[in-house]
Amino acid sequence: MTRREAYEYGVEQLEAEGIENADCDIRILLEDLCGVDREELFIQGDKVISRRETEIFMNAVNKRMGHYPVQYITGKQEFMGLTFTVNQNVLIPRMDTEILVEEVMRQLNDKSRILDMCTGSGCILLSLLYYSNDCEGVGVDISEEALDVAKDNAGRLILDDTFDLLFKTGGMGKKHLDEDKIEFIQSNLFNDVRGRFDIIVSNPPYIRSDVIPTLMEEVRDYEPILALDGKEDGLYFYRKIIEKSPDYLNPGGMLFFEIGYDQAADVVGLMEKAGFKDVTVVQDYAHLDRVVWGRI
């Protein structure tokens, strides 16, 4: 089977199962399998894939036909120009969350101390540390399995042999993180957190419990419910984090949240009631409310 034949077969199979963006999914699977980029994949479309590669590809297509996320099949997802390891113990990083990271970066000062609450894969904290100067960070999650993924991602960023910038030809080269400035803590929110921070950032579980059964299969059936379920009204973790954050922020410190599209007014109200000033709502590229932040 050639690469082109594999591509055409895979797209046909996924489309028959009603999988959206079937062509994109198959391209990603083949790029990962063959270790090539998009251009090379199609320029060398007549190149034959081995029997073993064919077997791996067929298994991947079968998984995707069952709505298993592509990112969990390949074990990686690009975020903020970096590639992160992911598995079913962590949410798949999404472009929407890049809005949160970009907004923190606009306010971030050199040598800031950052707390990432509900860190998951660590993509938020590690991206902030990667693109800033002399900052230090603590990532917190209740899930030991999620923290294993975050630590793996941090370890590869520290070594930096497999963490390539997507735009590495732009003269930026590679960068190593200082392992002494990264810490991950297993904790139920702030229970085991010590010290104060200049910035607290969080993408907490914020989907209402009654909405979860209506989510697309890829999310509902495979992504960790612990990282999705925001309890009855979706605001449970915002309340808890907002209530305790003033005890962990330095004077003038900032709290940043990713939010659901319909949660801005509620989160703004909770932050203002807790004493946060200049509370700001930021929209994503679809003009939906996506980030709320304020200063203590």
Q: What is the pLDDT along the chain (296 residues), one digit of tens a residue?
A: 999 999 999 999 999 999 999 999 999 999 999 998 888 888 988 999 999 999 999 999 999 999 999 999 999 999 999 999 999 999 999 999 999 999 999 999 999 999 999 999 999 999 999 999 999 999 999 999 999 999 999 998 886 544 444 434 344 445 667 888 999 999 999 999 999 999 999 999 999 999 999 999 999 999 999 999 999 999 999 999 999 999 999 999 999 999 999 999 999 999 999 999 999 999 999 999 999 999 99
* 55 and 89 inside one domain: no
Mean pLDDT of the chain: 93
Tell whether 71 is covered by a domain: no
* 286 and 161 inside one domain: yes
What one-character DSSP code corresponds to residue 22?
A: H
CATH classification of the domain holding 15 = 1.10.8
Task: Please tell me the pTM assigned to this model.
Answer: 0.92
Strand order across the beta sheet in which 277-283 lies: 182-186, 136-141, 113-117, 197-202, 249-258, 289-295, 277-283
* 171 and 285 inside one domain: yes
* 59 and 83 inside one domain: no
Last-in-domain residue among 40, 66, 92: 66
- Would you state the pLDDT for residue 97? 98
Tell whether 204 is covered by a domain: yes
Tell whether 176 is covered by a domain: yes
Tell whether 73 is covered by a domain: no
For the chain, the straight-line distance linking the first and the last C-alpha, in angstroms and rounded, comes to: 61
61: amino acid identity, one letter: V
Tell whether 194 is covered by a domain: yes
* 60 and 92 inside one domain: no
Domain count, the chain: 2
Last-in-domain residue among 66, 96, 117: 66
* 147 and 14 inside one domain: no
- Would you state the pLDDT for residue 157? 85
- Would you state the pLDDT for residue 71? 98
Domain interval for residue 156: 79-295
Report the C-alpha gap between 189 and 116 in whole angstroms: 10
Tell whether 29 is covered by a domain: yes
CATH classification of the domain holding 211 = 3.40.50.150
* 102 and 236 inside one domain: yes
* 89 and 205 inside one domain: yes
Tell whether 74 is covered by a domain: no
- pLDDT by residue (tens digit) across 18-56? 999 999 999 999 999 999 888 888 898 899 999 999 999
Tell whether 95 is covered by a domain: yes
